[in-house]
Every structure is written in C-alpha cells, then in structure tokens.
Copies of this chain bind each other. A is one copy, B any other.
Amino acid sequence: MPRPHTPILSPARIRAAALALVDRDGLDALSMRKLAAELGVQAASLYSHVATKEDLLNDVASEIIGRVDVAGFTAGWREGLVRWARSYRAVLAEHPNMVPFVSRGPDRRDASLRMADAIHGGLVGAGWPPREATMIGAAVKYVVIGAATSSFAAGFSDDAQLYVARYPHLNQAHLLRQHAEEVDNDSFELALGALLATLDAKHTAPVAEAVVRTPAP
C-alpha cells in the first residue's frame, strides 16, 4: 500500500461542514478559511475538491432542493401541488440562513430545474395546458419563496417588543415570538388554499380534454 495519506477531505464532507457552519453562524460568516479551520485543514486544500465558493454553495443548495417532495402527482395534481408546496417550505425552513442563496434569481441549478420540470410535467400530465402549468408552478413557488424569505419567525430576535411599543397597529398584531411561527404557517396556508380554490374552479374543463388526449396505458 504505497498510498502516503488516506484523504481527509471529500466534496461531501466539505458540503456538510459548510451547511453546518451556515446553519450555525449565518451565510455571511462562511469563509473558505473558517470552513477549512472547521475541517482541520488549510484554506487552499479545499480547492482540491471544490472549484469555487460559489460552486460549493450551489452544490449545498442542490442537496437541499433535492429533498423536496415532487412525487405527489401520482395522487392527482392537487395532492401533488400541496405536497410540493409544504415540503418545499419545510425544507427551506430547516435551513433559514441558506434561503437567500437557494432562492436567488431564475434558477440555473440542476436540482431546481429538475424540480421545476417534475412540477410542470405533473400538471401537464393531469390535463393543465402548458401555459397554465407554468403559471401555476410559478405562483405556488412565489408563495413558498416569499414565506421562506420574509418569515416572521426566522431570525426573530428577542428585542422585537421594541417595535411593538413604537408601532400602535403592530401592537395588536400578535407578533410576539411565541405566535410568530403560527402566524407564518396560517398566512402560508391562506395563500396556498386561496390558490388551490381558484384552480379547483378553473380545473373542470381542461382536465376533461386531457383524459381524451392521454388515455391510461
């Protein structure tokens, strides 16, 4: 066995350590040097396994997105959408400090494109015209990303009572910390439920056509 050292690093280990650091200290606290220190190694060593900090974060983001449940469409488009929306939100809520990065812009990440494709395919397969499927996917995504991004609960600090005192209407707005998650959740379900109700009303005609076009095998 002439191998001089068993390797101490690997892309997966680096990703895990990066995510742990971001979860603990925030996205801005992640530096290649701190990450290396956490792994007992020099900063330059990371570049044997990772091309760039941006790439590393993209890979971490892809791992997160990959955990979203897009399999619900076997039980119908409604169930597919609901499971997608709730699991998408839950997965983001597990890593609030990664949300700004994960939800940045029009997504070029492979995992995000696969997710978008699964949703679009599920909707089209259930009879929604492609143009409407795109809009529905986008609208649900807006609600999820918005809820994850501007959550009351995420990073809610204990000095929040300060604001309650200064802004009269917020005073009665149930913004206390113990209610923040509940308000987040109810607001999210309000938006999601409203969207589904509208889709239920629209749904009747297009799905009938689709059954004709794509008969069961």
Residues of A within 8 A of B (CB): 100, 103-108, 113-114, 116-117, 120-121, 124, 130-131, 133-136, 138-139, 141-147, 149-156, 160, 163, 166-170, 172-175, 183-184, 186-188, 190-191, 193-195, 197-199
Q: A183: which B residues are within 8 A, CB to CB?
A: 134-135, 138
Q: A121: which B residues are within 8 A, CB to CB?
A: 169
Expressed in whole angstroms, the Cα–Cα distance for A146 and B103 within the complex equals 9
Expressed in whole angstroms, the Cα–Cα distance for A195 and B146 within the complex equals 14
By Cβ-Cβ distance, the 6 closest A-B pairs, closest first, are A142-B146, A146-B146, A138-B187, A194-B198, A145-B146, A139-B191
Expressed in whole angstroms, the Cα–Cα distance for A150 and B116 within the complex equals 12
Beyond the given A130-B173, A130-B174, please list 13 additional residue pairs across the A-B interface where CB-CB is below 8 A: A100-B100, A105-B151, A105-B154, A108-B163, A120-B169, A130-B172, A135-B187, A138-B152, A139-B188, A142-B191, A145-B150, A191-B191, A198-B198
Q: Is the Cβ of B138 less than 8 Å from the Cβ of A169?
A: no
